[in-house]
Amino acid sequence: MCAESSFSVRILYTKYKYAWRGSDPLEVEPCLCVDDRSLGVLRDPPFSDFSNQTDFMVSKDHIQAQPQPSCCSPKTPLEYEAVIFDMDGVVTRTASAHANAWKRTFDEFLRARSEATGEAHRPFEHPQDYLAHVDGRPRYQGVDAFLKSRGIELPFGKSADAPGFETVCAVGNRKNEVFNEVIALDGVGLYDSTLSLIHQLRQQGVRIGLATSSRNADLILSKSGVEELFETVVDGIVSAKLGLKGKPEPDIFTTAAFCLGIDPSRAIVVEDAVSGVQAGSRGGFALTLGLAREDNEAELREGGANVVVNDLACLSPETLNDYVIERKPHV
């Protein structure tokens, strides 16, 4: 078989989206695509033999690992091979933009409902509403969970619904509209401490993935200029294509590990939302690290975080390794 090109897998996964081609039963397999052109079908066990390599020869239906350059070899043996980061609030300073967009959207909705029904207006609140029902969840699930907490039932609708208040999807789409206005106005900030840790991990040959419920990951990552740090991105769009369950189910994290060719037991999850650490905990990962940006250490620990920190500046590849070793059953 004649190879078409040679790619770095980092570039491969950044530029070529992992996608599910579900329209044709013969093509219902995960594959790597350039636009709509399949470069290679990921067969079972996908990439499992490639976990120590970073370069691949790619042809129409064959992916062959190339030897890993020695500069990427770990300085010290680590008990994990990949770290999968959540995006909002972990890599990007978009958590407050999301929280503000949710508050504007739900307050508009609740005010309109109050005027229509005569019920007292009770605004959307950050700790009891946002953190409890919305934070970290896929957008429409967040809408549904919050409305149910207030005893409000709306038809689910369709993702193509125009932004508005008639369906769960319409409310979610209104939130996205507001979020994009906020991002366009304020830009996207980054956590330098997270970027520093990612660079240290990459120097040690640790594989880096990103898993997020956001459907705006492409926009946010490209706007912030960090897309090439992540070998694989499993976002809300990929989740919809693959039919993945949202947090607190572990699907997006286990799929990111799958894309990297690393077993979850050899990977670490970094998350700032309770639903996210619940997902990491359920996924059988080597370590679920909670990042408490909201003074919510106790909630993250209760959710299943093995370790909780306030910022990643206190961590290095070696300290993460110590945490993983501490978690392992002693013989």
Kindly tell me which of 89 and 264 has the beta carbon lying closer to Mg ion. 89
Q: Which stretch binds Mg ion (CB under 5 A): 56-64, 182-190, 231-239, 267-275?
A: 267-275
C-beta nearest to Mg ion: residue: 89
Closest approach, Cβ 272 to Mg ion, in A, equals 4
Number of residues that bind Mg ion (CB under 5 A): 5
| CB contact set of 51 (below 8 Å; sequence gap of 6+) | 81, 207, 260, 261, 262
Kindly tell me which of 217 and 320 has the beta carbon lying closer to Mg ion. 217
Q: Which stretch binds Mg ion (CB under 5 A): 84-92, 105-113, 300-308, 315-323?
A: 84-92
Q: Which stretch binds Mg ion (CB under 5 A): 80-88, 251-259, 284-292, 306-314?
A: 80-88
By three-state DSSP, how is residue 246 classified?
coil
- The helix (run of H) or strand (run of E) holding residue 55 is strand 55-59
Cα(222)–Cα(328) distance, integer angstroms: 37
Among 272, 285, 287, 323, binds Mg ion (CB under 5 A): 272
Cα(42)–Cα(242) distance, integer angstroms: 14
Please give the backbone phi and psi of residue 13, each rounded to the nearest 5 degrees, phi first. Answer: -75, -25
Give the ranges where the chain is alpha helix by DSSP (H): 9-15, 95-117, 139-149, 168-186, 192-203, 217-224, 236-242, 251-260, 274-282, 297-303, 317-327
Yes or no: say if 126 and 99 are a contact pair by the CB < 8 Å rule: yes
Kindly tell me which of 279 and 324 has the beta carbon lying closer to Mg ion. 279
Question: How many residues comprise the chain?
Answer: 331
Residue 88 among the catalytic residues: yes
Kindly tell me which of 55 and 88 has the beta carbon lying closer to Mg ion. 88
Closest approach, Cβ 95 to Mg ion, in A, equals 6
Kindly tell me which of 170 and 270 has the beta carbon lying closer to Mg ion. 270
Kindly tell me which of 78 and 183 has the beta carbon lying closer to Mg ion. 183
Catalytic residue among 24, 35, 36, 86: 86
User: In 292-320, which positions are buried (b, 16+ CB within 10 angstroms) versus exposed (e)?
Assistant: bbbebeebbbebbbbbbbeebeebebeeb
Q: Identify residue 266 by its one-letter amino acid code.
A: R
Is 273 a residue that touches Mg ion (CB under 5 A)?
yes
What string marks each residue from 225 to 264 as x (binds Mg ion by CB under 5 A) or -? ----------------------------------------
Give the bridge partners for 66, in sequence order.
55
Among 86, 144, 161, 263, binds Mg ion (CB under 5 A): 86
- Token pair 């009770």 in the structure block, residue: 122
Is 49 exposed, middle or buried (CB count within 10 Å of its CB: 0-12, 13-18, 19+)? exposed
Catalytic residue among 24, 49, 61, 88: 88
Q: Which stretch binds Mg ion (CB under 5 A): 69-77, 169-177, 269-277, 314-322?
A: 269-277
Closest approach, Cβ 279 to Mg ion, in A, equals 11
Closest approach, Cβ 164 to Mg ion, in A, equals 26
Residue 86 among the catalytic residues: yes
Kindly tell me which of 89 and 303 has the beta carbon lying closer to Mg ion. 89
By three-state DSSP, how is residue 221 classified?
helix
By three-state DSSP, how is residue 3 classified?
coil
Q: Using CB under 5 A as the criterion, which residues of the chain lie in contact with Mg ion when the complex forms?
A: 86, 88-89, 272-273
Point out the residues that are catalytic: 86, 88
